[in-house]
Amino acid sequence: MMSLTLMAICSGTFAQNINRMELGDYERVKDRKVYHLPEIPGFVTLTADLHMHTVFSDGVVWPDFRVQEAWVEGLDVIALTDHIEVLPHKENIKGDHNTSVESASRVAEMLNIILIKGTEITHGMPPGHFNALFIKDANLLDNDDPMEQIKEAAAQGGFIFWNHPGWASQQPDTTLWWDAHTTLLEKGWLHGVEVANQHDWYPVALDWCKGKKLTVIANSDVHEPVNSTYDLSVPGSHRPMTLVFAKDRTAEGVKEALFSRRTLGFSGTQIMGSEELIHQVFYASVEVRESYYALERGGRKTLFREVVNPTDLTFILEKDGEGQMDQRIELHPHSIAVIRHGEGVELRYRLENCWSGSSEHPLVILK
């Protein structure tokens, strides 16, 4: 058959006949996932992956497939960020540094995905790799000097972040901040840092974001199909992403939110960002119901309380307060926990999977 390229969404089906039977056993269902995420007042919550590759640099898929997989996975925003410098397919690929994004724009429009023009500036350490988003012409960044490249990106109004600062190939011992990054910061050319990239996350980078007022970013940096890097059949699974709290669901809204640092990193079951945003997200996610008395096994009357998490987020709570209460509560996505507690006890817990610094977990009270 000829390629559908864009999967046939909602297509009418041909009738079968005796000489053409359908074998649907293992057919992949292609729906867009609905994300259940909390909203915080004044903003919409957008799911964004701001770092990925296509055949136009060292990825293995055609650009519009990136839109299609994002659609299936329920993302709102993607940036295609093919390398300026790493072009292993160049012998067989025609086009310039803008081609990748341009060729995906029709499908993005059709599927209502916000597609951001980006590119990756790729150097040894220092200064390492950087993504520039919302640029106008990536070809103007094709230049040997990283500082010139970044300057040009900034001149185009780009949002620039440092990629995978703890990548073992570039920072084998530990995750260090270099003088070059101070320079970039001082020039106003550095706006964010990836605290999580693919399967890694870099706790110290969260401290940098806090101390230097940089935006928290988490991305997949995927080169293969996403479902080849992540096993998306695992319940609750997802690629690493940045949660963006935007004024509206537009590219402009995303840009404003990124420059305003209204983001959280979300990788695996971990959530990274400011204490304030984590608090807002937690309290907007979790419903704590009225306590009630019932007999425990053994016959002792105890207070029980349901804690409801109807979102796609996970919250792991460890007891932080005084008094009788359960030690650990795992609020998996779309689940309810029943907890036990003593009378008059303040249910104070530490969010073990949420990070407001390299060793800081926000506290919450279940009331």
99 versus 156: smaller Cβ distance to a second copy? 99
329 binds a second copy, rule: CB under 8 A? yes
Q: Tokens 């249910």 — which residue? A: 347
Residue number, 239 or 261, with CB nearest to a second copy: 239
Tell which positions 231-260 bind a second copy, by CB under 8 A: 231-235, 237-240
Q: Which is nearer to a second copy, 13 or 188 (CB)?
A: 13
* CA count, 13 A, side-chain hemisphere, 89: 17
Q: Which of 39, 248, 276, 296 forms a contact with a second copy (CB under 8 A)?
A: 296
Interface map 131-160 toward a second copy (x if CB under 8 A): ------------------------------
> Cα–Cα distance between 129 and 305 in angstroms, integer?
48
* Minimal distance, residue 61 CB to a second copy, in Å: 6
Of 276 and 346, nearer to a second copy (C-beta) is 346
Q: Does residue 300 interact with a second copy by CB under 8 A?
A: no
Number of residues that bind a second copy (CB under 8 A): 129
Answer for which of 41, 42, 300, 327 binds a second copy (CB under 8 A) is 327
Q: What is the nearest approach in angstroms of a second copy to the Cβ of residue 354?
A: 14
Q: Closest Cα to residue 226, out of 245, 241, 215?
A: 241
Whole-angstrom Cα distance, residue 278 to residue 272? 8
By the 10 Å C-beta count (0-12 exposed, 13-18 middle, 19+ buried), 91 is classed as exposed
- In the set 38, 40, 44, 62, which binds a second copy (CB under 8 A)? 62
User: Residues with Cβ < 8 Å from 118, sequence gap 6 or more?
Assistant: 50, 51, 79, 80, 81, 101, 131, 132, 133, 134, 135
- Asked whether the CA dihedral 231, 174, 166, 224 is positive or negative, the reply is negative
